[in-house]
Structures are given as structure tokens and as C-alpha cells.
């Protein structure tokens, strides 16, 4: 009798396990993948709007982000077909493609022909966007006329700034956001270096380093440096 009861219990357990496996298989089958149609050539110009900060960043030089975009997999979110209240955190745009990423991790994806809402991304890949920046907005208001200012261009020509009032006025119109993961970016050619106070500001375009920390320009620009008259290079390369 005891053996019969044991056999029955084993059979019931086997049926339960099989049922769980079937349910898991059904859940996997419910994940319908959305085909991504963009290629690497579409990623030359990539921008990210951070809605909380109300700014748009040019992330075209972020090679890690481009690799991520080429490797992600999108699925229709059949487990949560009814959308509740949600807030847009990021809008990622390039060519004729756009991702809107919401606070509940659902995604709206737009390509050349279609719009797909209520998607999810494999492995929560867009969580990477939360690690792009630390929220520190930098301005240059701490500099004064007492500071010595020197600028060097890409040819190693130098200029000692004597008209400091105009220079500082232009500099203080620039605002930057601190970026994390410096090694994820291709900085490009170094255009200018500004030596002011004890700081070294290296300008690569919309990306700058300040004492080796990486920032991206969010307001204003460094175009005023193009109007500086430089003396001939002495051959001294201060960044080596």
C-alpha cells in the first residue's frame, strides 16, 4: 500500500513539473521579436534627450552605445498589453529611427515604416543610459580677472589672454554635463587647451576634459576660441 502511495505521489510531482516546463515554454513562445532594420551606417549621428534635465546630448562619439544598439533585441510585451501611467525618461534618435524609453522600462520604437509601442528590450540593455552621466552640471563662473589665462591650439601655437573680460564672458556662457565611462567615447582631435587658474580644459568639439574628467557641452560652445590670435609655435607640446 505504501509503495502504491509513493508511486502516485511521484506521478503527481512529475505532472506538476511537466506543467511548469510547458508554461515556461509557452511564455518563451509568447515573446515575439520585433525586427530591427537599421545598420551601422545609420548611427553616424546619435542624439539622446534626457527629459528630466530637458537637454539633448550629441552621443555620436560614444562607440559603446553604438555597439549596444547593433546588438539589442526587442520584443512585444505581451505580458503587459495594457499600458498604465508612465513617464518618458529618454528619447534616443538617429537617422529616421527613434527609441522612447519609459520609467517602467517599456519602449516605443519607430523605424522608417512603423511604430511599435509597449516593447521590452532583452537584458534591460537600455539601463546603460542611466549610467551615462552623474547629473553634475558644470559652469565656469568661478573664474575671475585675477586668473592667468593661456590658450594653445592644435598646432601648438599659444596665446596669453590679456582681454580677460570678454574671454571670461564667452566662457561663462558654456555649460557642461559630466559624463561617466570616459573610455566609451572616441574624443577625436584635440582642438584647444585652456590653462586657467590650476585647471586644464581640453576642447575636442562638444566633448571636453577638465583635469582629465570628461564633460559634454549642453549649452553654448567654444567657437569664440577661433577668434584668438596665436603666436608661432615654439615646438613645446604642453600635453606631452
CA distance 21 to 10: 17
Nearest to 127 by CA among 103, 95, 93, 149: 103
> Cell numbers 506543467 label which residue?
19
Where does the pLDDT of residue 28 fall: very low under 50, low under 70, confident under 90, or very high at 90 and above?
Answer: very low
* pLDDT surpasses 60 at 231: yes
- pLDDT value, residue 136: 81
Of the candidate ranges 12-21, 186-195, 200-209, the one whose mean pLDDT is the lowest? 12-21
H or E element that contains 29: helix 2-30
Please compute, for residue 108, the number of CA atoms within 13 A of its CA located in the half-sphere on the CB side.
Answer: 12
Grid cell at residue 92: 534616443
Of the candidate ranges 15-24, 156-165, 175-184, 201-210, the one whose mean pLDDT is the lowest? 15-24
> What pTM does this model have?
0.80
> Under a CB-based contact definition with an 8 Å cutoff, are residues 159 and 229 in contact?
yes
* pLDDT surpasses 60 at 240: no
Percent above pLDDT 90 for the chain: 75
- pLDDT value, residue 81: 58
Nearest to 217 by CA among 150, 139, 130: 139
- pLDDT value, residue 25: 41
* pLDDT surpasses 90 at 179: yes
CA distance 27 to 177: 42
Arithmetic mean of pLDDT, 149-171: 96
User: For residue 8, what are the CA distances in angstroms to 4, 14, 20, 161?
Assistant: 6, 10, 19, 91
Where does the pLDDT of residue 144 fall: very low under 50, low under 70, confident under 90, or very high at 90 and above?
Answer: very high
- pLDDT value, residue 9: 42
Supply the mean pLDDT for the chain. 86
> Under a CB-based contact definition with an 8 Å cutoff, are residues 100 and 93 in contact?
no
Arithmetic mean of pLDDT, 188-207: 96
Amino acid at each position: 500500500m505504501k509503495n502504491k502511495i509513493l508511486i502516485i505521489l511521484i506521478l503527481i510531482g512529475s505532472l506538476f513539473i511537466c506543467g511548469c516546463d510547458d508554461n515556461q515554454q509557452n511564455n518563451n513562445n509568447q515573446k515575439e521579436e520585433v525586427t530591427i532594420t537599421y545598420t551601422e551606417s545609420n548611427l553616424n549621428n546619435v542624439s539622446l534627450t534626457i527629459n528630466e534635465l530637458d537637454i539633448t546630448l550629441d552621443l555620436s562619439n560614444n562607440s559603446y552605445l553604438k555597439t549596444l544598439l547593433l546588438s539589442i533585441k526587442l520584443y512585444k510585451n505581451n505580458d503587459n498589453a495594457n499600458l498604465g501611467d508612465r513617464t518618458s525618461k529618454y528619447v534616443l534618435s538617429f537617422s529616421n529611427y527613434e527609441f522612447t524609453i519609459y520609467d517602467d522600462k517599456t519602449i516605443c520604437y519607430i523605424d522608417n515604416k512603423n511604430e511599435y509601442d509597449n516593447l521590452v528590450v532583452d537584458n534591460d540593455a537600455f539601463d546603460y543610459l542611466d549610467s551615462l552621466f552623474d547629473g553634475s552640471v558644470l559652469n565656469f563662473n568661478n573664474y575671475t580677472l585675477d586668473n592667468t589665462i593661456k590658450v594653445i591650439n592644435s598646432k601648438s601655437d599659444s596665446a596669453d589672454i590679456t582681454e580677460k573680460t570678454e574671454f571670461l564672458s564667452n566662457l561663462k556662457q558654456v555649460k557642461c554635463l559630466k559624463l561617466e565611462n570616459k573610455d566609451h567615447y572616441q574624443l577625436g582631435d584635440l582642438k584647444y587647451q585652456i590653462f586657467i587658474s590650476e585647471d586644464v580644459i581640453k576642447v575636442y568639439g562638444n566633448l571636453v576634459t577638465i583635469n582629465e574628467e570628461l564633460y559634454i557641452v549642453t549649452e553654448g560652445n567654444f567657437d569664440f576660441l577661433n577668434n584668438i590670435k596665436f603666436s608661432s609655435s615654439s615646438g613645446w607640446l604642453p600635453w606631452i
